[in-house]
Amino acid sequence: MDKSKIIQAPKGTFDILPTEQKYWEKVRRVVALVGAQYGFERIDTPIFEGTDLFERSVGQETDIVEKQMYTFKTKGKDSLTLRPEGTASVVRSYIENGLNSWPQPVRLYYVGPMFRYEQPQSERYRQFHQFGFELIGDSHPIYDAWLINIALVALRELGLHKTVVAINSIGDAKCRPVYRKALVAYYKNKVGQLCEDCKRRYKTNPLRLLDCKEHHCSEVAAKAPNLVDHLCEECRNHFKSVLEYLDEQKISYMLNPHLVRGLDYYTKTVFQLYAEESLEILSGNSNSHKNPLELGGGGRYDMLAQQLGGKNTPALGFAMGIERIISLMRKNNIKVSELKKPEVFLVQLGELGRKKSLTLFEKLREGGIDVVESFGRDNIKSQLRAADKIKVRYAVIVGQKEALEEAAIIREMTSGTQETIPFDKIVNELKKRLRQAPPVSS
Ligand code: HAM
């Protein structure tokens, strides 16, 4: 095999093989279940959008827009971008489809792939998947705390009970400029030590300085003034209420005064959820330079609808990284049931048996029996070995003789006992047997 000629999946992407699908199916099932329980309905938006949607929402000065977007020109010269996240599209859809005429708040959830041109590393991909919940049309702080609860419930339903919530408030259009001034003053004689991106952002969008992942920049950011100390009365009260509603739900959290998140559309509450193993890193008790494992994040984005040309509409939401969740489920040995457990293996012998097994397969399928075929094989031993391997309870064997009689042999795999049954009785007979508890194997 000439390895140089083998085409590989693009860097930062991967295949989800059949053996992995049970985890993905479990996540989708839990998201749909939790969504329904909390009154959220599914929305699907296009995988690509006009580039300006993300420039105007996520923000020109963010890592995502500056460095990570898959942007391309169409033949019609439109600039399109593979969506790097889901919130902007959901709000675009809310405005475009007049969802403000629905009973408010509108509650929507989504599941799907997102694309960011990142340096691939552990748990960081270029195509990854999120599920997200958005609640549009209400400003009450109870929803901020409720949504955090929903995120935690979803994780618990997936077997992840130990997670850490970090929370902060980044204020609004009234108080952010005040904080911005304090931040600029703090950085004034430190700009020279920062990375090139931060030097630029110092002038254009200083809040982003708190978000830089460069080691030295984050050390400088750690000593920067706190946002919460500069909140206006409205934002302070809002944040206080969010924390009280969290207490009411017995949700513990870490206040992180430097949490700003990497997207520009947030106002007031922002939060992130981490795997418990990241607690040491988060509380500064670890010497490791590893980043904590962020499972998800979100917050309020009260200005976004207006920024995108809609009415003034308060809103909030969160999104979780599915790859990271599944990787944690596997690490914690969380059991997930197989998608399909075949019950019957169809064995055929000779050409006539093969032909008849086509019709018999359909009969069994229509009868609701999970059946596996091996049409291409001839040898009975190898077929029974294959049946044994996937641990079916019964093999149904159509040999030359049985085929002529329009019948098949039902073989109980553990005991080896066999009985010939006519085709037209076989579904009922198998159903009857499958309903009975399997014999205890010695
Ligand atoms: P985000 O923090 O950019 O927020 O992404 C949410 C989650 O997606 C992250 O916490 C992480 O688990 C996962 N994620 C992000 N990038 C990658 C990557 N390259 N590889 C693997 N996983 C990744 C948002 O996207 C916001 N739209 C969340 C939100 C919804 N805010 C309000 N509503």
Q: 275 and 407 share a domain?
A: no
- 97 belongs to a structural domain: yes
* pLDDT above 70: residue 84: yes
- The verdict on the CB of residue 116 being under 6 Å from ligand 1 is yes
Tell me, in angstroms, the distance from the centre of ligand 1 to residue 162's CA. 19
- 95 belongs to a structural domain: yes
Band of residue 1 on the pLDDT scale cut at 50, 70, 90? confident
- The verdict on the CB of residue 118 being under 6 Å from ligand 1 is yes
Q: Which of 331, 366, 401 corresponds to the end of one domain?
A: 331
Which tens digits make up the pLDDT trace of 200-221?
Answer: 989 988 998 998 888 899 899 9
- 102 belongs to a structural domain: yes
Q: 307 and 386 share a domain?
A: no
Distance CA 147, CA 27 (A): 18
The CATH number given to whatever domain includes residue 321 is 3.30.930.10
* pLDDT above 80: residue 437: no
Q: 359 and 306 share a domain?
A: no
* pLDDT above 90: residue 324: yes
Q: Name the domain count of the chain.
A: 2
- Residues paired with residue 41 on neighbouring β-strands, in sequence order: 108
pLDDT of residue 287: 65
| For ligand 1, mutation pick of 13, 45, 65, 85 (most atoms within 8 Å of CB) | 85
Residues contacting residue 111 through CB under 8 Å, at least 6 positions apart: 27, 28, 31, 42, 129, 130, 131, 132, 322
Band of residue 426 on the pLDDT scale cut at 50, 70, 90? very high
Which tens digits make up the pLDDT trace of 223-240?
Answer: 999 999 999 999 999 999
- The verdict on the CB of residue 58 being under 6 Å from ligand 1 is no
- Residues paired with residue 107 on neighbouring β-strands, in sequence order: 135
pLDDT of residue 439: 65
pLDDT of residue 280: 76
Domain extent at residue 98: 18-175+231-331
- 442 belongs to a structural domain: no
Q: 325 and 250 share a domain?
A: yes
| For ligand 1, mutation pick of 126, 128, 270 (most atoms within 8 Å of CB) | 128
Distance CA 415, CA 402 (A): 21
Flag the least confident range among 43-57, 174-188, 279-293, 367-381: 279-293
For the residues of 212-264, what is the DSSP string, one character each?
--SHHHHHHHHTSPPSGGG--HHHHHHHHHHHHHHHHTT---EE-TT---S-T
pLDDT of residue 322: 98
Q: 36 and 153 share a domain?
A: yes
* pLDDT above 60: residue 431: yes
pLDDT of residue 150: 98
* pLDDT above 80: residue 109: yes
Instruction: State the average pLDDT over residues 186-192.
Output: 93
- The verdict on the CB of residue 66 being under 6 Å from ligand 1 is no
Band of residue 246 on the pLDDT scale cut at 50, 70, 90? very high
Which tens digits make up the pLDDT trace of 116-125?
Answer: 999 988 999 9
pLDDT of residue 2: 77
Distance CA 365, CA 347 (A): 15
- 8 belongs to a structural domain: no
pLDDT of residue 215: 87
pLDDT of residue 440: 61
Q: 367 and 418 share a domain?
A: yes
Residue type, 200: R
Q: 259 and 140 share a domain?
A: yes
- 7 belongs to a structural domain: no
Which tens digits make up the pLDDT trace of 257-305?
Answer: 989 998 999 999 999 999 988 877 777 776 666 778 899 999 999 999 9
Q: 145 and 121 share a domain?
A: yes
- 134 belongs to a structural domain: yes
The CATH number given to whatever domain includes residue 408 is 3.40.50.800
Instruction: State the average pLDDT over residues 168-194.
Output: 94
* pLDDT above 70: residue 442: no
Q: Which of 331, 364, 391 corresponds to the end of one domain?
A: 331
- Report the mean per-residue pLDDT for the chain: 94
Q: 319 and 363 share a domain?
A: no
Q: Is 34 exposed, middle or buried, given 0-12, 13-18 or 19+ CB atoms closer than 10 A?
A: buried
Instruction: State the average pLDDT over residues 341-348.
Output: 94
What residue owns the CA closest to ligand 1's atom 13?
321
Q: 168 and 24 share a domain?
A: yes
- 25 belongs to a structural domain: yes
Q: Is 399 exposed, middle or buried, given 0-12, 13-18 or 19+ CB atoms closer than 10 A?
A: buried
In the numeric block, which tokens belong to residue 310?
């809609």
Q: 367 and 274 share a domain?
A: no
What residue owns the CA closest to ligand 1's atom 11?
321
pLDDT of residue 441: 52
Tell me, in angstroms, the distance from the centre of ligand 1 to residue 322's CA. 10
Distance of CA 293 to the CA centre of its chain: 14
Q: Which of 282, 309, 331 corresponds to the end of one domain?
A: 331
Q: 299 and 379 share a domain?
A: no
Higher-confidence residue of 312 and 278: namely 312
* pLDDT above 60: residue 388: yes
Band of residue 3 on the pLDDT scale cut at 50, 70, 90? confident
Residue type, 394: Y
Distance CA 135, CA 143 (A): 8
